[in-house]
Amino acid sequence: MNWFRNNVVAASLLTVIRVYVGYTFLMAGWGKVSGEERFDASGFLQGGIEKSTGEHPAVQGWYANFLENVALPNVSIFNVLVPWGELLVGIALILGLLTTFSAFMGLIMNVNFLLAGAISTNPNLMIMEFLLLVGGWNAGKIGLDYFLLKLKKKRFEGEERGVAA
């Protein structure tokens, strides 16, 4: 675990993973934000509800209830959250900005897509996002997080000496 969180080689590996996951999210979000037709999640949500029935349901009943009673009635909110969430997670991961938070938000989205019955690349992305979370700050070390951490340390060192930053 120490190697994964502190080693330069691990930071390089995590950077490759981070940029790949970020690119995947960026392209998914960009396609929804910039598409000719306005993004509408209602078909996806309805499909998740339909996958909760039958002999071998792919969606659990409790999640289908969430889709039917919370997500579908508020689809206009999800029509904004999904594409912009994907786009912002993608940009942040590519830049290495707030990496662990961004990876966690991506993981939350992938878990929800998976619970709604969309297998696709979601399990693969979840594994990679988990690796980014385990890597902690090392996952964003080769990125903007490096500069944020330096700025944070400089600010707190100034406050400890009684100097306003």
The model's pTM is: 0.90
Give the pLDDT mean for 64-69. Answer: 98
Give the pLDDT mean for 105-130. Answer: 97
Q: Within 13 Å, how many C-alpha atoms sit on residue 97's CB side?
A: 7
Give the pLDDT mean for 61-72. Answer: 98
pLDDT band at 137 (very low <50, low <70, confident <90, very high): very high
Query: Helices 75-95 and 99-115, interaxial angle, to 10°?
Result: 140
